């Protein structure tokens, strides 16, 4: 069954249709939340919250074809709420472990990954969300603006400010000599 049909059924309260819908999007939601929040536990909570909010508010979605952008906006808001909640609760977040071994990726040296990780963690969650939506999900800037609920100019500014900051982090790392570059780390 295509997504539109599932959305229409779920809007009318069909829980089975909603379960199928949720199963089809949960991996992407979770991956996006992990990248924005840099923490698996928080991403777990934000993804669950997004799915629950989607179920609760689905009847208010007028156009079933807008389900994906609508869901992305729910996710960004859930990540924002989760970030605030944890900021009040504990002083530091756990760092995201790397999911894959460092070898075998000649395009990205270990020093680059470290510099990116440090630079990325220094960005605000709003800037990280913009970068993830644009560079990971491949959304256009107007779509980033829609997903984050900000004007187009603000979305442009966030993506470019964040990208510039990350480029500066990489360049600073290169200037300082860094670690092994371009080889196996």
Partner 1 sequence: MSRNDDIDKTLESWLRRQAPRQAPDRVLDAALERVAEESQRRSWLQRLTGETPMTTLTRAAALTAVIAMAALIGFQFNTLVGNLDPTPSPSPSPTTTATASNAATPTPEPTPTLPAYCVNPLVDINTLIDLQSTGPLDPPRDPVACYGDAPLTFDATWLGGGVADCPTAPEPAWLACSAFSLQAPGDTRKVGAPSLGVAVDPSASLSLPSEPYAQVRVTGHFDDPAAQTCRETEPLPGASAEPDSQIIERCRNTFVITEVVAVEP
- Asked if residue 3 binds partner 1 (CB under 8 A), the reply is no
Q: Is 8 exposed, middle or buried (0-12, 13-18, 19+ CB in 10 A)?
A: middle
Helix, strand, coil distribution of the chain in percent, nearest 5: 75, 0, 25
The string of DSSP letters for 164-181 reads: HHHHHHHHHHHHT--S--
Restricted to residues 22-81, the positions that interact with partner 1 (CB under 8 A) are 22-23, 26-27, 29-32, 34-35, 37-40, 42, 44, 47-48, 51-53, 55-61, 70, 73-74, 77, 79-80
**Whole-number Å distance between alpha carbons of 37 and 14:** 31
Contacts of 123 (CB under 8 A, 6+ apart): 131, 162, 165, 166
Binding window for partner 1 (CB under 8 A); candidates: 1-9, 85-93, 175-183: 85-93
Which of 4/153 has CB closer to partner 1?
153
Q: Which of 37, 16, 25, 13 is nearest to 68 (CA)?
A: 25
Q: Is 132 in the site for partner 1 (CB under 8 A)?
A: yes
Under rule CB under 8 A, residue 112 binds partner 1: yes
Query: Does 172 sit near partner 1 (CB under 8 A)?
Result: no
Nearer to partner 1 by Cβ, of 23 and 172: the residue is 23
By the rule CB under 8 A, 150 interacts with partner 1: yes
- Please tell me whether residue 156 binds partner 1 under the rule CB under 8 A: yes
Kindly tell me which residue out of 5, 63, 65, 122 binds partner 1, with binding defined by CB under 8 A: 122
């Amino acid at each position: 069954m295509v997504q539109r049909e599932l959305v229409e059924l779920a809007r009318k309260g069909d829980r089975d249709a909603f379960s199928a819908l949720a199963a089809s999007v949960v991996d992407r939601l979770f991956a996006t939340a992990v990248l924005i929040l840099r923490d698996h536990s928080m991403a777990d909570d934000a993804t669950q919250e997004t799915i629950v909010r989607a179920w609760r508010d689905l009847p208010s979605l007028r156009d079933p074809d807008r389900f994906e952008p609508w869901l992305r906006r729910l996710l960004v808001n859930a990540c924002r709420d989760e970030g605030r909640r944890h900021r009040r609760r504990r002083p530091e977040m756990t760092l995201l472990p790397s999911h894959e071994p460092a070898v075998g990726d000649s395009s990205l040296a270990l020093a680059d990954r470290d510099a990116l990780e440090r630079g990325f963690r220094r960005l605000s969650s709003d800037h990280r969300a913009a970068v993830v939506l644009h560079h990971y999900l491949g959304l256009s800037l107007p779509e980033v603006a829609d997903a984050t609920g900000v004007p187009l100019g603000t979305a442009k500014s966030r993506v470019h400010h964040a990208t510039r900051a990350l480029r500066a982090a990489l360049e600073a790392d290169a200037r300082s000599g860094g670690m092994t570059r371009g080889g196996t780390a």
